[in-house]
Amino acid sequence: MEKTASQIQKERTKELENKANALLKRCDVATLTSINEKGYPRTCVVSIAKADTFSDIYFVTSKRSDKAGKASHFETNTKSSVCYFLDGDSVTLIGNVEFVGDRKLQESIEADRQFFKKGIDDPKFRLIRFHTIEATFWIEGKFRTCKYK
């Protein structure tokens, strides 16, 4: 039996998603955008702390002040964007950030001891999870935007 157009599109999307996950595993850093107190986007290059798929990516950040910085921005506005790229391929994600308080998960993340002297017990340490609601793929010359829950 011949495949329907819908089945073909689903297969193509799944192929791009798998390639996006493989690309992510090869990336050590990504860009992470927060919305600052004046409503402007603020993009930083950050190390990826943990990522099995592009659906949920974990980052470590610092809570240094009440006004400036990603942690403060995400306390008031969870909307965010992540982008990662390598060798001409890229994935741009839109989603939301949440602070992770789960001690077991925090312990599985390597905290930079030069920056966080007490590791995850440092009062400035914040683990955040970015959850994807939309992904735009540009992989091997193929472009597609997909929405997720």
Asked if 89 and 139 touch (Cβ cutoff 8 Å), the reply is yes
pTM of the model: 0.91
Say whether 42 sits in a helix, a strand or coil.
strand
Average pLDDT, 10 consecutive residues per value, the chain (149 residues): 91 96 97 95 95 96 76 94 98 97 89 80 91 98 94
Whether the CB-CB separation of 27 and 90 falls below 8 Å is answered with no
Residue with tokens 């998603």: 17
Q: Report how far residue 47's alpha carbon sits from residue 40's, in angstroms, rounded to the nearest whole number.
A: 22
Domains of the chain: 5-147 (2.30.110.10)
pLDDT given at position 98: 97
In sign, the C-alpha dihedral spanning 113, 117, 123, 124 is: negative
> Residue 145: beta bridge partners?
136
In this predicted model, what pLDDT tens digit does every residue of 21-59 receive, in sequence order? 999 999 999 999 999 989 999 999 999 999 999 999 999
Q: Which two tokens stand for residue 104?
A: 């077991």
* DSSP-derived secondary structure for 85-135: EETTEEEEEEEEEEE---HHHHHTSPP-TTT-TTGGGSTTEEEEEEEEEEE
Distance, CA of 64 to CA of 127 (rounded, Å): 14
